[in-house]
Amino acid sequence: MKEDLKKILLLQDVDSHIDRVSAEIDEIPREKLIHERELESQKTDYEKEKKKLEETRESGRKYNADMEVNENRLAEFKTKLLEMKTNDAYRAMMEQIKYTENRINDLDSKIIENMYEEENGEKDLEEARKIWERNKKRSEKRQDILDGQLEVLKENIEELMAERKEIASEIGKRLLDKYEQLRTAGRGLVVVGLEKGTCGGCLTNIPPQTTVEISQGETYICPICGRFVIWKDDSSMAGAK
């Protein structure tokens, strides 16, 4: 294999490595975003529970205030009852008392119900807070790990880029341009092995004479897919058998 092709193969290895590291770098903000969204949704859950509990407590305050009003009214009515001069007035006052007593009974059930609701609301809020806090801690730890990984990966990329630059500087311009062109076209590997007498990239048959030249290190570009076909350790000249 000619020196240049060896270098191209080396460059291809470095580029594959760069691609892998770049993909890992791209993955990091994506994972961070997932954590952020999860936290955001747990924060929303917590705030919903908080609002619900506040509303329950507000209802409780209203019921209790209402209860006080009705209890005072009942006491007042009972005092007045003793002062009633006629049967009609007495009956009318009794009606008022009955109505107020019913109202008090009704409020009593509501207050008890509201107390249960408040108790459950407190539990739900505490649960939502715990879930959110726990995840916040876990997420912060994970973010730190990811930040650390990102730093290492960026260093890796810098080293690989330097390595790449050095290798590229030792390759002839025409060959390098061709390589870059194929690489940008995104056809995967630019340099492939000769496989059983065919191009390892597109499996087109290669004439036996050419396979011999390839085995001797000649530069050969597949006329079909444009890749460099080289002799590798596992190459064979099936066509030349």
Question: Which tokens in the block code for residue 49?
Answer: 């529970």
Q: Which amino acid is at 79?
A: T
222 touching Zn ion, by CB under 5 A: yes
Contact residue for Zn ion among 77, 193, 201, 220 (CB under 5 A):
201
225 touching Zn ion, by CB under 5 A: yes
Q: Which residues pair with 230 in a beta bridge?
A: 193
The set of long-range contacts for 111-119, using a CB threshold of 8 Å and a minimum separation of 24, is: 111/60, 111/63, 111/64, 111/67, 114/56, 114/59, 114/60, 114/63, 115/60, 117/56, 118/53, 118/56, 118/57, 118/60
Residue with tokens 């064979």: 236
Which lies closer to Zn ion via its Cβ, residue 182 or residue 225? 225
Coil, strand or helix: which one is 219?
A: coil
Segment interacting with Zn ion (CB under 5 A) among 9-17, 66-74, 125-133, 220-228: 220-228
214 touching Zn ion, by CB under 5 A: no
9 touching Zn ion, by CB under 5 A: no
To Zn ion, the closest distance from the beta carbon of 209 in angstroms equals: 17
DSSP labels for 54-106?
HHHHHHHHHHHHHHHHHHHHHHHHHHHHTT--SHHHHHHHHHHHHHHHHHHHH
Segment interacting with Zn ion (CB under 5 A) among 24-32, 150-158, 160-168, 224-232: 224-232
To Zn ion, the closest distance from the beta carbon of 195 in angstroms equals: 10
Coil, strand or helix: which one is 131?
A: helix
To Zn ion, the closest distance from the beta carbon of 199 in angstroms equals: 3
To Zn ion, the closest distance from the beta carbon of 189 in angstroms equals: 11
224 touching Zn ion, by CB under 5 A: yes
Contact residue for Zn ion among 21, 153, 199, 214 (CB under 5 A):
199
To Zn ion, the closest distance from the beta carbon of 225 in angstroms equals: 3
Handedness of CA 79, 62, 111, 105 (dihedral sign): positive
To Zn ion, the closest distance from the beta carbon of 201 in angstroms equals: 4
CA distance 156 to 71: 78
Segment interacting with Zn ion (CB under 5 A) among 61-69, 78-86, 195-203, 213-221: 195-203
CA distance 67 to 107: 6
Which lies closer to Zn ion via its Cβ, residue 128 or residue 230? 230
Q: In what order do the strands lie in the sheet with 198-199?
A: 198-199, 191-195, 228-230
75 touching Zn ion, by CB under 5 A: no
To Zn ion, the closest distance from the beta carbon of 239 in angstroms equals: 14
Which residues, numbered 152-171, are part of the site for Zn ion (CB under 5 A)?
A: none
Residues that bind Zn ion (CB under 5 A): 199, 201-202, 204, 222, 224-225
